[in-house]
């Protein structure tokens, strides 16, 4: 049976002793898992293994402690350090358990646990809540669909992935030698897009504003995709190029994504794309033309009024 955050939370609530009580869960897993409290109201995940556990470093967000027990088995505990991230701890615990479940033995399961913990450590550094909110999920989906188009057009996959600079917090989402591209994911009925900074469309070279029409839909809609599904599709395309695949995975982590079950459940439908030419006539804010007193701005562009810049 798959462990869910709701099941785990109910089991935590059933523990009567909040200052050191532990409860074993999931007896069918290759590893022995427990949940409980190291201190008052501080939830803790603990695993026990007969296989030796190597050194695992704590992170800024999580304290990790390993020890050899009196019965010569090993234990490893995970405890969040930041109270504001307590809401995601049950999701973290479930993901650690489920990610390592397919392993055939304790040793392989431990490798998966440690690898997954390292991914989570990086994620929580970039994203306090652990989970991306809905606008960020749709934003990532739009960028991934655009990247997929670039992979289909370019023979050199590494260059295509290197051009995805938005994942590294650049001003534009994609930057290639011949052009730059800013991606916006909006619902099909939207008539405007939000430009979140002056720099987003402020570039000397001509580029593109790419508007992706993406809506949440029911799972049975023909052509619907999940965020996880699109990620796996791109990984499959990149599987023949190790450097491109490794860079793609690193950029996903920087964006704040790891393949959680929550990102597989919601389905989306991409109904169309409009591309607008951003040149020196395009209506946008340019830093050098603004009063120096204005250092930041957010503005909306009305899409019907941009017909003159719509690319065929």
Instruction: Indicate the domain borders of the chain.
Output: 5-126, 134-309
Please write the tens of the pLDDT for every residue from 60-84: 888 999 999 999 999 999 988 776 6
Distance CA 200, CA 42 (A): 42
- pLDDT above 70 covers a percentage of the chain that reads 94
| From the candidate CATH numbers 3.90.320, 3.30.1460, 2.60.40, 3.40.50, the one assigned to the domain spanning 5-126 | 3.30.1460
Q: Over 80: is that where the pLDDT of 3 sits?
A: no
User: What is the overall mean pLDDT for the chain?
Assistant: 90
Outline where the chain has alpha helix (H): 5-14, 89-100, 106-126, 134-153, 157-162, 227-238, 242-255, 262-265
Please write the tens of the pLDDT for every residue from 123-162: 887 666 667 889 999 999 999 999 999 999 988 999 999 9
pTM of the model: 0.78
| Mean pLDDT for the stretch of residues 162-177 | 93
Distance CA 42, CA 136 (A): 30
pLDDT of residue 260: 85
pLDDT of residue 83: 65
Residue 123, Cβ density class (10 Å: 0-12 exposed, 13-18 middle, ≥19 buried): buried
Supply angle C-alpha 280, 281, 283, rounded to 5.
105
């Amino acid at each position: 049976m798959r462990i869910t955050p709701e099941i785990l939370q109910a089991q935590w609530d059933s523990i009567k002793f909040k200052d050191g009580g532990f409860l074993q869960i999931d007896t069918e897993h290759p590893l022995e898992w427990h949940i409980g409290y190291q201190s008052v109201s501080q939830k803790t995940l603990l695993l026990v293994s007969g296989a030796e556990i190597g050194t695992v470093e704590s992170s800024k967000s999580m304290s990790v402690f390993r020890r050899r027990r009196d019965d010569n088995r090993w234990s490893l505990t995970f405890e969040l350090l930041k109270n504001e991230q307590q809401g995601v701890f049950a999701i973290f615990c479930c993901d650690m358990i489920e990610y390592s479940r397919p392993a055939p033995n304790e040793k392989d399961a431990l490798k998966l646990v440690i690898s997954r913990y390292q991914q989570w450590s990086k994620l929580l550094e970039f994203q306090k809540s652990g989970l991306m909110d809905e606008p960020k999920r749709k934003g990532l989906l739009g960028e991934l669909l655009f990247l997929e188009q670039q992979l289909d057009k370019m023979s050199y996959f590494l260059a295509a992935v290197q051009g995805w600079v938005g994942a590294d917090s650049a001003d534009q989402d994609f930057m290639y030698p011949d052009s730059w591209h800013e991606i916006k994911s909006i619902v099909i009925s939207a008539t405007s897009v939000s430009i979140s900074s002056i720099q987003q469309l402020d570039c000397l070279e001509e580029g593109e504003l790419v508007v992706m029409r993406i809506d949440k839909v029911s799972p049975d809609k023909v052509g619907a995709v999940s965020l996880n599904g699109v990620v796996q599709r791109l990984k499959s395309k990149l599987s023949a190029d190790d450097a491109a695949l490794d860079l793609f995975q690193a950029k996903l982590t920087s964006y704040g994504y790891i393949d959680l079950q929550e990102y597989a459940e919601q389905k989306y439908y991409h109904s169309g794309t409009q591309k607008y030419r951003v040149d020196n006539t395009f209506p946008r804010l340019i830093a050098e033309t603004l009063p120096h007193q204005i250092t930041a701005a957010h503005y909306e562009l009305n899409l019907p009024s941009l017909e003159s810049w719509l690319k065929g």
